Amino acid sequence: KQEVTQIPAALSVPEGENLVLNCSFTDSAIYNLQWFRQDPGKGLTSLLLIQSSQREQTSGRLNASLDKSSGRSTLYIAASQPGDSATYLCAVLQTGANNLFFGTGTRLTVIP
């Protein structure tokens, strides 16, 4: 069964730093991978979706990469801002399945 792990569980950085969040998954037979952001007490907002045939996706200061064979994805955030503080979740859609398998999340705090 697919298992998705995110490291670290929590991360604090000073404003302006570049940072990387990691996601790993046990079954490489995935259809796509998504990165979400969850603010406290709120729902999830989709940030980036990478299809299994793609290596990376970019949106503004965010860049997500995918290495399907090694079961890894990273989310790179450039020039972090206090407004980036949130929990970041990665989720994979496994080939043949219809639902997302979520990681455990990384809680990011950007200190002004």
Which residues of this chain interact with another protein, rule CB under 8 A?
A: 31-32, 34, 36, 41-46, 49, 51, 87, 89, 91, 93, 98-102, 104-105
Minimum distance between the CB of residue 2 and another protein, rounded to whole angstroms? 11
Question: Closest distance between another protein and the C-beta of residue 99, in Å?
Answer: 4
Q: Of 12 and 45, which has the nearer Cβ to another protein?
A: 45
- Shortest approach of another protein to residue 64 CB, angstroms? 13
Reported residue count of the chain is: 112
Q: Which is nearer to another protein, 12 or 95 (CB)?
A: 95
Indicate the residue type of 84.
Answer: D
Q: How far is the C-alpha of 23 from the C-alpha of 103, rounded, in Å?
A: 7
* Structure tokens that stand for 77 in this block: 């955030």
Return the number of the residue (45 or 70) whose C-beta is nearest another protein.
Answer: 45
CB within 8 Å of 45: residues ≥ 6 apart: 36, 37, 38, 39
Nearer to another protein, 25 or 101 (CB): 101
Task: List all residues 6 or more positions away from 55 whose beta carbon is below 8 Å from its beta carbon.
Answer: 65, 66, 67
CB of 103 to another protein, least distance (A): 9
Please name the residue that has the structure tokens 């399907």.
68
